[in-house]
């Protein structure tokens, strides 16, 4: 089982994906835009 886990890493949770996306912002304006996208459901499919 451990062998397969090395090839198929654990999928990020929705919260982890959202936080990683927000952390990639480069300015306050960019962060605010990304926050709006997250609020509108950008990661709803996770």
Residue 4 is assigned to a structural domain of this protein = no
State both tokens at 6: 């090395």
Whether residue 2 contacts residue 10, with contact meaning beta carbons closer than 8 Å, is answered with no
Overall domain count for the chain: 1
State both tokens at 39: 């609020």
Residue 2 is assigned to a structural domain of this protein = no
Residue 21 has a CB neighbour count (10 Å cut-off) of 15
User: How many CA atoms are closer than 13 Å to the CA of 15, on its beta-carbon side?
Assistant: 0
pLDDT in tens, 12-46: 899 999 999 999 999 999 999 999 999 999 998 87
Residue 41 is assigned to a structural domain of this protein = yes
Range of the domain at 40: 11-46
pTM strictly above 0.85: no
């Amino acid at each position: 089982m451990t062998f397969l886990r090395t090839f198929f890493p654990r999928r990020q949770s929705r919260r982890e994906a959202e936080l990683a996306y927000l952390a990639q912002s480069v300015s306050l304006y960019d962060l605010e835009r990304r926050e709006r996208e997250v609020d509108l459901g950008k990661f709803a499919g996770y």
